[in-house]
Structure 1
């Protein structure tokens, strides 16, 4: 008995709330649109699948391309100026804009981090080049982990490496 009461209550709520879409049509991109508002004027009558009250639109003779459908224009309330396009969710647009802004901020932060890293590399390379240009004997650690003085070939290779770093990271 309780199941019948629950089912009857659910059916009554559904019928009285008008929760089902009154209008259905196919938009210019071929997507099916469900709405409680009439479709835009530029949607042809042949694209309207369902009207309020569960009725399908009555087949009418095709209107010529030069004269608008007077029946539809009279039945459809005129949209207010600057009314939002049917089928577009404002909340979805707001979330998309927020996601785009977050992505732009993330990209900007990454670019700033990369610029900061390049500036640090530039500073270290200039400092090392100053040490190399001073003419002092410099030590480095070889493959065996021993500290040895740099020979001319190693010194020249290190100067070339420092110059490449400065060429890429010290752009102003």
Structure 2
């Protein structure tokens, strides 16, 4: 492919993508965190008038807080029309109930998984503790302990090997038997 053709296609795709973002967003404002917000709904009442960057054609100016302390100079008919238009609008709390429910459900699932994992670890530690105690009892009993080496041959543990194994088993008991 020709490099110029590819670059033109890329430019058109980027331009089309940004158009798609703003095509349905009729309102544009800067929120209290300083981020640009695009929406098909009017901004919340706590957004200052100076922070509203774009509004749909024919949208009335709402009685949003003004940046200065001076009273807003607006025709009397506009203020009453804005009050009527805002009276029927739903109050936005800033929280999405479905999103909050999904977050709660995800947190509950995560807590359940963590609890199951903790129980699994606790069971493994209890099993290790029991096996270590049995092994240490065998070491202290004075019976001959046989092991199998790498070649598959049976060997009798000598005193130094018994001491090392007893020390290892005691470390397991100290860590897992709590």
* TM bucket, shorter chain: 0.5 to 0.7
The two structures have a TM-score, normalised by structure 1, of: 0.67
Q: Distance in 2 between matches of 1:135 and 1:105?
A: 46
Q: What residue is the counterpart of 1:143 in the other structure?
A: 150
Give the gaps of 5 or more residues in structure 2: 1-23
Instruction: Give the secondary-structure state (helix, strand or coil) at the position aligned to 1:137.
Output: coil
Instruction: Give the secondary-structure state (helix, strand or coil) at the position aligned to 2:29.
Output: strand
Work out the number of aligned pairs and report it.
143
Call closer, same or farther: CA 1:116–1:133 in 2, change over 3 Å: same
The two structures have a TM-score, normalised by structure 2, of: 0.65
Call closer, same or farther: CA 1:162–1:67 in 2, change over 3 Å: farther
1:84 pairs with 2:93:
yes
Instruction: Give the secondary-structure state (helix, strand or coil) at the position aligned to 1:43.
Output: coil
Q: How does 1:75-154 map to 2 (within 5 A)?
A: 75=82, 77=86, 83-85=92-94, 88-154=95-161
Would the aligned equivalents of 1:22 and 1:54 in 2 still touch at CA under 8 Å? no
Q: What residue is the counterpart of 2:20 in the other structure?
A: none
Q: What residue is the counterpart of 2:45 in the other structure?
A: 41
Match of 1:161 among 168, 171, 174: 168
Q: Distance in 2 between matches of 1:112 and 1:148?
A: 38
Give the gaps of 5 or more residues in structure 1: 1-19
Q: What residue is the counterpart of 1:32 in the other structure?
A: 37
User: RMSD value over aligned CA atoms?
Assistant: 3.1
Call closer, same or farther: CA 1:107–1:46 in 2, change over 3 Å: same
Would the aligned equivalents of 1:139 and 1:150 in 2 still touch at CA under 8 Å? yes
State the Cα distance separating 1:137 from its structure 2 match. Answer: 1.2
Q: Distance in 1 between matches of 2:120 and 2:169?
A: 21
Query: Taking CA–CA contacts closer than 8 Å with sequence separation of 6 or more, which of the two structures ends up with the larger relative contact order?
Result: 1
Q: Distance in 2 between matches of 1:31 and 1:156?
A: 70
